[in-house]
């Protein structure tokens, strides 16, 4: 009710184009709502950071929002190098490196196939390609649980279950719908005359792809890299099922560290581990800005 009142009041003044309206009570209401929402969004981050900097004695006092009296990064060091999952006490760094090993190849390979598919679909005539693409798009919506058991069996038969190549293959396969869509849409905007000129110059399928299309695709490749890095880094389900004990990604290890501890829970270490796990996607997000948003709207089918 408040908000409608605020909006009604803004009509009494005349907002001119370009210029910001003067600071009326209505404007203050707008800012009030925006700032309180910003607080709602920021509080968990604040709590995460302050908790991770407090020693356990301070945490036991039970004041969630208090600033740390004796801030230290001890919990971060412990989370990184000596936090335990079960009997294994090597810290979350193990998961970090596993995630790096999974994310980098998966990102590169899935983007390569996305670009290749998008290019072939946009410029070349291949029988059934339309049908295949349609089913691929449908695949983006299928709940993963339907596919998991058959995939586990198939990968086990191929001796890929619980291996690094196995999980990379899984990410490539599940990244394919969005990546293909992204590049197909991008190439649809490329003038066909350019492609025809390359054909007349005698370019074949692969030559046009590698020497003309890929170099032209840098902006969309950047979007794709942002999308895939974030999505694969944040993946939990596939890592849990397919990566195997040796390659558990950081998200899975984080969950294990926090939800399987016996004895006293070290909340500061837990929060430090959570921050460390989120640091990679958050950094990507903050650095990429509007590109990230572009990826969201392009990846809208992914869900």
Partner 1 sequence: MASTTLPGPSPRAARARRPWRSLGAQIALLPMAATVLFVYVGTLLWSMRISVSSSKVFPRDDFIGLTQYQRLFETERWNISLNHLVIFGVLFIGACLILGFLLAVFLDQRVRGEDVLRTIFLYPYAMSFVATGLVWQWMLNPQLGIQATVRAMGFPDFKFEWIVDQNMVLYTIVIAAVWQASGLVMAVLLAGLRGVDESLWHAARIDGVPRWRYYLSIVMPQLTPAFGTAFVLLSISVVKVFDVVVAMTQGGPGDASEVPAKFIMDNLFNRANIGLASAASTVMLLTVLALLLPWWYARAVQARKEGQR
Least distance from C-beta 67 to partner 1, angstroms? 13
The verdict on 219 binding partner 1 (CB under 8 A) reads no
| Contact set for partner 1, span 72-131 (CB under 8 A) | 113, 116-117, 119-126, 128-130
The verdict on 69 binding partner 1 (CB under 8 A) reads no
Longest dimension (CA), the chain: 76
* Number of residues engaging partner 1 in binding (CB under 8 A): 114
The verdict on 228 binding partner 1 (CB under 8 A) reads no
Q: Please tell me whether residue 167 adopts helix, strand or coil conformation.
A: helix
The verdict on 55 binding partner 1 (CB under 8 A) reads no
Give the residue among 162, 188, 34, 8 at the shortest CA–CA distance from 98.
Answer: 162
Say which residue the tokens 């829970």 belong to.
265
The verdict on 142 binding partner 1 (CB under 8 A) reads yes
Site string for partner 1, 169-208 (x = CB under 8 A): ----x--x---xxx--x--x---x------x----xxx--
Interface residue with partner 1 among 77, 108, 132, 222 (CB under 8 A) is 132
Is the CB of residue 271 less than 8 Å from the CB of residue 52? yes
Interface residue with partner 1 among 154, 158, 201, 246 (CB under 8 A) is 154
- Sign, CA dihedral 79-274-107-177, equals positive
Neighbours of 266 (CB within 10 A): 20
Least distance from C-beta 294 to partner 1, angstroms? 8
The verdict on 137 binding partner 1 (CB under 8 A) reads yes
- How far from 252 is each of 192, 244, 245, CA to CA, in Å? 46, 11, 10
């Amino acid at each position: 009710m408040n908000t409608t009142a605020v909006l009604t009041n803004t009509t009494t003044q005349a907002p001119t184009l370009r210029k910001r309206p003067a600071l009326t009570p209505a404007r203050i209401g707008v800012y009030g709502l925006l700032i309180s929402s910003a607080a709602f969004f920021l509080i968990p981050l604040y709590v995460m950071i302050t908790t991770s900097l407090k020693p356990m004695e301070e945490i036991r006092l039970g004041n969630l929002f208090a600033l740390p009296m004796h801030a230290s990064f001890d919990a971060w060091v412990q989370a990184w190098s000596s936090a335990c999952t079960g009997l294994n006490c090597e810290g979350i760094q193990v998961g970090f490196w596993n995630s790096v090993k999974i994310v980098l190849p998966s990102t590169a390979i899935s983007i390569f196939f996305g670009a290749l598919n998008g290019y072939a679909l946009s410029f070349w005539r291949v029988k059934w390609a339309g049908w295949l693409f349609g089913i691929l798009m449908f695949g983006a919506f299928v709940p993963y649980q339907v596919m998991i058991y058959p995939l586990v069996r198939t990968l086990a038969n191929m001796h890929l279950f619980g291996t690094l190549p196995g999980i990379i293959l899984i990410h490539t396969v599940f990244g394919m719908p969005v990546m293909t869509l992204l590049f197909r849409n991008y190439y649809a905007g490329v003038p066909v005359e350019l492609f025809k000129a390359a054909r007349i110059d005698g370019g074949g399928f692969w030559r046009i792809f590698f020497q003309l299309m890929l170099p032209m695709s840098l902006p969309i490749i950047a979007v794709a890299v942002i999308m895939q890095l974030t999505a694969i880094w944040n993946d939990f389900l596939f890592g849990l099922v397919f990566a195997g004990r040796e390659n558990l990604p950081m998200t899975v290890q984080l969950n294990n560290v926090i939800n399987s501890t016996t004895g006293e829970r070290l909340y500061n270490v837990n929060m430090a581990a959570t921050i460390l796990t989120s640091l990679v996607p958050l950094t990507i997000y903050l650095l990429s800005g509007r590109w990230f948003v572009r990826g969201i709207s392009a990846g809208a089918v992914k869900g």
